[in-house]
Amino acid sequence: MLILANQMFYFEAKGWKSWNINHVNVPYLFQCIGNLRQLMYLDASKNRIESIPNEIESCLALGDLHLSINLLQQLPETIGNL
């Protein structure tokens, strides 16, 4: 289970291929994002995200990652492996 911006998302559907959480005032992504190994598209733009967990490297199918208009200071070094 993931609690995000006072909403609950259940990651039992590990086959998610697309996730759009843009402009919902999200402060961060949880480490369990790494469970979404089939995720191909993630739009987390227009939020308050300061960092991306290293576990994102487990999202091997991720081809489209949108993080613009956030508070990011740096990205994980492993993000280049996607």
Q: Does 56 fall in a domain?
A: yes
Q: Does 52 fall in a domain?
A: yes
The yes-or-no verdict on residue 4 having pLDDT over 60 is no
Our CA dihedral for 66, 68, 74, 78, rounded to 10 degrees, sits at: 10
pLDDT for 8 equals 43
Task: Give the domain CATH number at 73.
Answer: 3.80.10.10
Q: Does 13 fall in a domain?
A: no
**Rounded mean pLDDT, 20-44:** 90
Q: Is the pTM of this model over 0.75?
A: yes
Position with higher pLDDT, 10 vs 38: 38
pLDDT for 32 equals 84
Work out how many domains the chain is built from and give that number.
1
Q: Does 48 fall in a domain?
A: yes
Question: Residue 63: which domain range?
Answer: 19-81
Q: Does 10 fall in a domain?
A: no
Q: Does 1 fall in a domain?
A: no
pLDDT for 14 equals 63
